[in-house]
C-alpha cells in the first residue's frame, strides 16, 4: 500500500477521491490519528494527517513513532510526505515544490528511533528513497534537490540561525521532516518528501515572516502539490525492488 503523510495543503485528497474506510491503529507508541484509506488512480492509498485532526498538534509534539508504526502495521511500503518549508535561497521562490535529497537535524527533544533497547545503526547516507525521488522529479516542474534543515519549532528560526543554516548548505528549513524520514528507514519503508515552499525564511526576505503569509502561500501550492502527488502515485509500483527494503540487513549489531 502507498502512504501519504499530509501536512498543510494535502487535505484536499480526502475530497477528491473515493473513500474506502478509516482506521485508527493502536501501536506500542500510542494511538495513531485516523487514517483514511482512499482509492487514488486505482490504487489504495493510506492518508494520515501528520498534525492529527484539524491540524491540532504542533510540530514538536507530533507522535512521529506512532504515525510511522501505524502505516507500517497496515501494510504501507511506500511513503510520500508533504512538508511546508521556508526557503534559504532567494532563487527558490514561494510556490516552488522541492524534492530534498538530504537533511541536517537540529531538532532537540524528539523520540527519533524505534530502537531504544537494542543497538541498531540505520544508514542515512542518502536518507530519501532514490526510486520515489526519481518519480517525483522525472518530467515534473520541481526543484530536484536540496538539503532540508530540520528545526524543533514551534517558533520560527532567528535570522542568525537562518544565515548559519544557509552557510552550511541548507536549501530549505522546516519543523516536521525529521525524525519522520529516519523512522521510515528503520521500518524499511521507501520515503520521499515533497517540500512546498511557502515563504522565504527569516532574514532571506527583508520582510518579517507571518503565519498569514505561510497559509496564503500554501494555498497557492496546493493545486500543483496534489497534481504531483496523484500523478506519481499512478506510476508507483509498490512491488518494485528497492534497497530501502533491505536496510536492516547491515544495521543490527
pLDDT digits (tens, 9 = 90+) for 174-195: 999 999 999 999 999 999 999 9
Number of Cβ atoms within 10 Å of the Cβ of 65? 21
In the chain, DSSP finds a helix count (H) and a strand count (E) of: 6, 12
Residue boundaries of the structural domains of the chain: 2-250
CA neighbours closer than 13 Å in the CB half-sphere of residue 24: 6
Between the alpha carbon of residue 55 and those of residues 59, 62, 214, the distances in Å are 10, 11, 14
The yes or no reply on domain 2-250 and CATH 3.40.50.1580 is yes
pLDDT attached to residue 239: 80
Which residue numbers in the chain have pLDDT < 70? 8, 209, 253
Q: Give the dihedral sign, CA 52/32/243/123.
A: positive
Amino acid at each position: 500500500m502507498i502512504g501519504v503523510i499530509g501536512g498543510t495543503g494535502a487535505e484536499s485528497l480526502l475530497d477528491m477521491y473515493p473513500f474506502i474506510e478509516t482506521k485508527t491503529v493502536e501501536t506500542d507508541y500510542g494511538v495513531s490519528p485516523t487514517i483514511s484509506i482512499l482509492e487514488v488512480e486505482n490504487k489504495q492509498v493510506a492518508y494520515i494527517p501528520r498534525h492529527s485532526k484539524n491540524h491540532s498538534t504542533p510540530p514538536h509534539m507530533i507522535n512521529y513513532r506512532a504515525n510511522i508504526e501505524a502505516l507500517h502495521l497496515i501494510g504501507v511500503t511506500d511513503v510520500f510526505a508533504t512538508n511546508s518549508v521556508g526557503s534559504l535561497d532567494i532563487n527558490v521562490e514561494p510556490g516552488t515544490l522541492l524534492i530534498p535529497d538530504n537533511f541536517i537535524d537540529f531538532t532537540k527533544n524528539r523520540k527519533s528511533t524505534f530502537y531504544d533497547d537494542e543497538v541498531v545503526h540505520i544508514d542515512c547516507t542518502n536518507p530519501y528513497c532514490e526510486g520515489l525521488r526519481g518519480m517525483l522529479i522525472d518530467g515534473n516542474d520541481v526543484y530536484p534537490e536540496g538539503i532540508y534543515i530540520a528545526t524543533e519549532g514551534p517558533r520560527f528560526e532567528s535570522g542568525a540561525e537562518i544565515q548559519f543554516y544557509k552557510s552550511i548548505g541548507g536549501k530549505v528549513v522546516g519543523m516536521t521532516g525529521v525524525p519522520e524520514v529516519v523512522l521510515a528507514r528503520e521500518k524499511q519503508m521507501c520515503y520521499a518528501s515533497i517540500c512546498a515552499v511557502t515563504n522565504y525564511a527569516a532574514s532571506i526576505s527583508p520582510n518579517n515572516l507571518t503565519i498569514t503569509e505561510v497559509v496564503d502561500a500554501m494555498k497557492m501550492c496546493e493545486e500543483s502539490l496534489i497534481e504531483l502527488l496523484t500523478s506519481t502515485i499512478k506510476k508507483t509500483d509498490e512491488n518494485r525492488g528497492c534497497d530501502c527494503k533491505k536496510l536492516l540487513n547491515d544495521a543490527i549489531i
